């Protein structure tokens, strides 16, 4: 919503486009589109009745995966999600993370369990509220406030960028990631409108995440890529907003925008690298490494940042970059394990705020992750390559996160590899990417923002994601149009080819080693640019299906989700120190069996802050077989899918170097 | 006649509430009823009994032979309990809590006993509600 008056209060009437602007503002909250998820049919029925009595539009769903598909298919179809915590097919918190990452919708958790730690978990995962069952209608009557609040804060955040009073230095040192920009709304107003225009230009579909026409700079994939390049050029230590701005040479972009973005980026990097892995200073490593490419995949909805997540290995910097890039509209969540749903991809929403968050997950400092910048893959289904977690041996799999989301989500793909470099190809979601692939791919890819870099860290093949000019990281993820959402079709492809729809698939550089990984879900959820909350890469800890789901992904098995999870897990495990997220205790890989159920999401990412998270959209990917070589050839084609499929066919069970069992995506319940 | 029936229904409901068979959640459900859904509560209760039957069965099976997975039992009961509480089945809920305590204590006998209590309350409530809904019609 656009608060032109500068008041911080969001008048419902101005909310305007709740979604795609459908909702009649003056009737708000009537018609609020709610998606309610609960495995208990009795509860579901009661909730539905209650919500209808509140004059909301209700869609009910008894399975988390179905809910995710609803959300992915109807990008702007919902305003808010209410979900139970304990569900058999997927942990509610994982769903929460996914939603935060991919769609950036407010999520309310419910449970009969009112114990403090569970409620706290809701908070840390970014839930907008936590209701104790049995839920009363009174509690539901006011859920609209969360929608409003979210939008308002996003708006505010945007404004912050525009208030030019902050000194560059100050900004950079600003510790808080959260935007508490009490910038004068008035001052920001005109800037907002200006920015909005710019944003609108950049973003094709800005409605995906917040449905609000926020007057803020949308850090699209491309934009972010440019930013990263500029920073890289200058050297992270020397990168000052002014110079960055000059280098970027983007009309309409202000120093303040850059400064705030830089701040976030730094936080992100810091988070990625963590203390231990700090490679030459946080930002340094990122910038300093030429081979690390930052892949920003902007797939609002569909990028799977899993790869990123998993990439715990990804050096912080890389992740940061990715995240930053990915930050787009989609909430950046530390893409940790996003269960591979049929579509796994994380769309990172580039939220400035989120930026830092994502970093955490990426702690993969030791490995360099080359993220491809702005590979302009058609974002629709761009999947981000997931950074694999080197340690986890997951790495072999390139997780490409493909965000099927229509929006261009810039997803940061962090490739974490055990090997020093992994390059993520942005834009082309290919599990196996040839190091150069992305570039070429990128070119072929539409400039859409999402760049999905699939990083195959394990292999160490690194792509120089270098922002492919064509694709910009579009944080705003609005680019959905172009983005192709790659869905990891979990079970759909036997070959396990992730549907790297060539369109915009994020290219993931698959390490050559990865060959084995097949069915690598093209979409990688990358990460997590979650909000301050620790991104839990480690959804794995939960040991829920998520973990397993990632696993398969990694392996390229059809279990995309598992792959995503793996990645996430990996990343988390990796970065135990760095990630804010709970360290992943269990290697995701280990759960081969569970893959099936987690199909939906791999690598759930914590949604820190609940609000801005990289929205990773996991689109379903046909099993993506990231075979470097194969991909390479095919990469040129738009039809990555076919490429993958071919590869899949040729590849036997995924045998990642990590020794994972190949999971066939087929097994994954789609 | 009509009004008498209604009075009886109201009286029965009051009893059920007073005796703790039902709690205020049930009353809230009734408030949701409207002209478009006049039998909403009855439908919900019916579907509750249908859906929750599997929990009863599963728990029963799990209690038969060892080794006993108390965590699993607890989880199953947790779900069943949540469901019961959504219709306001207070006594059933209480029995469920007791069962869960036995699970925590890894007391299999206690689990069996409390589970009997659960089943009993579950069945009793069903009968009473059926009567009540009949009265309401």
DSSP string over A451-500 = --EEE-TTTT--------TT--EETT-BGGGTB-B-B--TTT-SS-----
How far is the C-alpha of A435 from the C-alpha of A439, rounded, in Å? 8
- Tell me the shortest Cα–Cα distance from A137 to chain B, in angstroms: 8
Per-10-residue mean pLDDT of chain A, 670 residues long, equals 41 42 63 92 93 93 90 88 91 88 87 90 90 91 88 73 46 43 44 48 45 57 81 84 84 83 80 55 43 40 42 45 44 40 40 41 40 42 40 39 39 39 39 40 40 39 39 39 39 38 40 40 40 40 38 39 40 39 39 39 38 40 42 46 53 44 47
Rounded to the nearest 10 degrees, the angle between the axes of helix B108-136 and helix B70-87 is: 20
The residue of chain A nearest to residue B44, with distances taken between CA atoms, is: A42
- CA A49, A52, A56, A61 dihedral sign is positive
Residue B93 near chain A (CB below 8 Å) = no
Residue B51 near chain A (CB below 8 Å) = yes
The residue of chain A nearest to residue B46, with distances taken between CA atoms, is: A42
Chain region(s) in chain A for CATH 1.10.10.60: 219-270
Neighbours of B84 (CB within 10 A): 29
CA distances from A468 to A250, A443, A452, A637, B77 (A): 16, 7, 11, 17, 54
* A36: phi then psi, degrees, rounded to nearest 5: -115, 130
Note the pLDDT of residue B91.
94
Residues B38/B27, Cβ–Cβ less than 8 Å: no
Which has the higher per-residue pLDDT, A198 or B21?
B21
- Tell me the shortest Cα–Cα distance from B47 to chain A, in angstroms: 6
Note the pLDDT of residue A419.
41
Residue of A44, A48, A49 to mutate, testing the B interface (most B Cβ within 10 Å of its Cβ): A49
Dig out the tokens for B59 from the structure: 């728990």
Residue B48 near chain A (CB below 8 Å) = yes
From chain A, the residues in CB contact with B25 under 8 A are: 134
Residues of A with CB under 8 A from a CB of B: 39-43, 45-46, 49-50, 53, 86, 111-113, 133-134, 136-137
Please name the member of B32, B48, B75 whose beta carbon is closest to the beta carbon of A137. Answer: B32
pLDDT band at B82 (very low <50, low <70, confident <90, very high): very high
Cross-chain Cβ contact A53/B40 below 8 Å: no
How far is the C-alpha of A114 from the C-alpha of A218, rounded, in Å? 38
- Where do the DSSP E strands lie in B1-137? none
Mean pLDDT, residues B119-136: 93
Q: Nearest Cα to A565, choosing from A597, A535, A604, A593?
A: A604
Residue B40 near chain A (CB below 8 Å) = yes
Instruction: Write the DSSP assignment of A401-466 as a string of letters.
Output: EEEB-SSEEEEEE----SSSEEEBPSS-EESS--TTHHHHHHHHS-S-S---EEE-TTTT------
Chain region(s) in chain A for CATH 3.40.50.2300: 31-156
* A196 membership: H or E segment, kind and range: helix A185-202
- At the second CATH level, the architecture of A31-156 is 3-Layer(aba) Sandwich (3.40)
Dig out the tokens for A504 from the structure: 């915009």
Note the pLDDT of residue A262.
84
Please name the member of A40, A136, A137 whose beta carbon is closest to the beta carbon of B82. Answer: A40
How far is the C-alpha of A446 from the C-alpha of A461, rounded, in Å? 24
pLDDT band at B16 (very low <50, low <70, confident <90, very high): very high
* The residue to which tokens 């910009």 are assigned: A472
Half-sphere exposure of A101 (CA within 13 A, CB side): 65
Under 8 Å CB pairs connecting chains A and B tally to 56
Residues A500/A643, Cβ–Cβ less than 8 Å: yes
User: Which pTM was predicted?
Assistant: 0.44
Is the link from the previous residue into A134 a cis peptide, with omega within 30 of 0?
yes
Half-sphere exposure of B124 (CA within 13 A, CB side): 16
Residues A465/A425, Cβ–Cβ less than 8 Å: yes
The residue of chain A nearest to residue B27, with distances taken between CA atoms, is: A136
Residues A479/A615, Cβ–Cβ less than 8 Å: no
Residue B77 near chain A (CB below 8 Å) = no
Residues A394/A605, Cβ–Cβ less than 8 Å: no
CA distances from B95 to A86, A577, B89 (A): 21, 44, 10
Note the pLDDT of residue A639.
54
Residue of B82, B83, B88, B93 to mutate, testing the A interface (most A Cβ within 10 Å of its Cβ): B82
Cross-chain Cβ contact B47/A41 below 8 Å: yes
3-state secondary structure of A266: helix
Note the pLDDT of residue A397.
39
Cross-chain Cβ contact A41/B86 below 8 Å: no
Residue of A82, A134, A136, A543 to mutate, testing the B interface (most B Cβ within 10 Å of its Cβ): A134
Residue B46 near chain A (CB below 8 Å) = no
A95-109: string of b/e by CB count within 10 Å (b at 16+)? bbbbbbbbbbbbbbb
Please name the member of B32, B40, B82 whose beta carbon is closest to the beta carbon of A133. Answer: B82
Note the pLDDT of residue A395.
38
Note the pLDDT of residue A98.
86
- Of chain A, the end-to-end C-alpha distance in Å amounts to 35
Dig out the tokens for A90 from the structure: 């997927």
Please name the member of B25, B51, B79 whose beta carbon is closest to the beta carbon of A134. Answer: B25
Q: Which CATH entry fits the domain spanning A219-270: 3.40.47.10, 2.70.98.40, 1.10.10.60, 2.40.30.10?
A: 1.10.10.60
How far is the C-alpha of A447 from the C-alpha of A377, rounded, in Å? 6
């Amino acid at each position: 919503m656009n608060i032109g008056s500068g008041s911080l209060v969001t008048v419902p009437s101005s909310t305007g486009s709740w979604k795609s602007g459908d909702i009649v503002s003056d009737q708000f909250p009537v018609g609020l589109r709610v998606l309610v998820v609960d495995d208990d049919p009795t509860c579901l029925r009661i909730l539905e009745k209650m919500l209808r009595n509140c004059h909301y539009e209700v869609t009910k769903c008894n399975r988390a995966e179905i809910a995710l598909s609803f959300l992915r298919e109807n990008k702007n179809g919902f305003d808010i999600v209410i979900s139970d915590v304990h569900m058999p097919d997927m942990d509610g918190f994982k769903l929460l993370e996914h939603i935060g990452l991919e769609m950036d919708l407010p999520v309310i958790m419910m449970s009969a369990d009112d114990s403090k730690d569970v409620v706290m978990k809701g908070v840390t995962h970014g839930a907008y509220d936590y209701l104790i069952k049995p839920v009363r209608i009174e509690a539901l009557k006011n859920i609209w406030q969360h929608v409003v609040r979210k939008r308002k804060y996003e708006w505010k955040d945007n404004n912050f960028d525009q208030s030019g009073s902050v000194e560059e230095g100050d900004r950079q040192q600003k510790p808080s990631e959260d935007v508490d920009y009490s910038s004068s709304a008035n001052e920001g107003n005109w800037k907002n409108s200006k920015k909005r225009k710019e944003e609108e230009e950049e973003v094709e579909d800005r409605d995906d995440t917040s449905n609000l026409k926020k007057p803020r700079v949308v850090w699209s994939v491309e934009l972010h890529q440019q930013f990263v390049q500029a920073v890289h050029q200058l050297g992270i230590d020397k990168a000052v907003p002014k110079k960055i701005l000059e280098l970027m040479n983007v009309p309409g972009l202000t120093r303040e925008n850059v400064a705030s973005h830089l701040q976030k980026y730094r936080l992100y990097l810091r988070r990625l690298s963590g203390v231990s892995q700090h490679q030459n200073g946080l930002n340094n490593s990122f910038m300093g490494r030429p081979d690390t490419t930052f892949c920003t995949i902007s797939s609002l909805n569909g990028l799977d940042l899993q790869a990123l997540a998993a990439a715990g290995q990804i050096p912080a910097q890389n992740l940061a970059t990715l995240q930053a890039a990915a930050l787009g509209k989609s909430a950046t969540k530390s893409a940790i394990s996003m269960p591979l749903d049929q579509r796994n991809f994380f769309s990172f929403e580039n939220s400035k705020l989120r930026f830092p968050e994502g970093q955490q997950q990426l702690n993969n400092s030791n490995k360099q992750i080359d993220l491809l910048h702005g590979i302009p893959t058609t974002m629709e289904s761009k999947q981000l390559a997931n950074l694999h977690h080197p340690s986890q041996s997951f790495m072999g799999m390139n997780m490409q996160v493909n965000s099927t989301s229509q929006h261009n989500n810039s997803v940061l793909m962090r490739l974490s590899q055990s090997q020093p470099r992994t390059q993520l190809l942005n834009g082309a979601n290919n599990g196996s990417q040839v190091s150069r692939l992305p570039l070429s791919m990128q070119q072929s890819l539409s400039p859409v923002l999402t760049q999905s870099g699939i990083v195959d860290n394990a292999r160490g093949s690194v792509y120089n994601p270098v922002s492919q000019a064509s694709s910009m990281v579009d944080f705003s993820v609005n680019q959905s149009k172009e983005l192709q959402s790659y869905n990891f079709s979990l079970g759909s492809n036997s070959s396990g080819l992730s549907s790297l729809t060539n369109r915009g698939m994020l290219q993931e550089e698959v390490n050559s080693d990865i060959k084995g990984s097949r069915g690598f879900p093209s979409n990688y959820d990358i990460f997590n640019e979650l909000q301050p909350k620790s991104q839990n890469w480690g959804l794995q800890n939960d040991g829920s299906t998520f973990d397993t789901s990632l696993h398969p992904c990694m392996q390229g098995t059809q279990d995309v989700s598992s792959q995503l999870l793996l990645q996430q897990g990996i990343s988390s495990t990796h970065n135990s120190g760095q990630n804010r997220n709970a360290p992943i205790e269990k290697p995701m890989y280990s759960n081969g069996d569970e893959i099936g159920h987690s199909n939906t999401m791999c690598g759930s990412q914590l949604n820190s802050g609940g609000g801005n998270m990289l929205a990773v959209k996991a689109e379903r990917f046909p099993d993506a077989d990231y075979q470097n070589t194969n991909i390479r050839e095919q990469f040129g084609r738009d039809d990555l899918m076919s490429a993958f499929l071919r590869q899949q066919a040729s590849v036997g069970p995924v045998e990642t170097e990590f020794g994972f069992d190949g999971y066939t995506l087929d097994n994954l319940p789609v | 006649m009509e009004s008498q029936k209604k009075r009886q229904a109201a009286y029965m409901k009051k009893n059920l509430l007073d005796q703790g068979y039902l709690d205020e959640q049930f009353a809230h459900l009734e408030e949701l009823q409207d002209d478009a859904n006049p039998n909403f509560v009855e439908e919900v209760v019916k579907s509750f009994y249908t859906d929750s039957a599997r929990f009863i069965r599963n728990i029963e099976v799990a209690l038969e032979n060892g080794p006993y997975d108390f965590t699993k039992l607890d989880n199953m009961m947790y779900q069943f309990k949540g469901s019961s509480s959504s219709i306001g089945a207070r006594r059933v809920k209480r029995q469920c809590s007791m069962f869960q305590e036995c699970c925590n204590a890894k007391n299999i006998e206690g689990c069996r006993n409390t589970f009997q209590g659960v089943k009993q309350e579950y069945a009793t409530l069903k009968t009473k509600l059926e009567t009540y809904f009949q009265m309401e019609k």
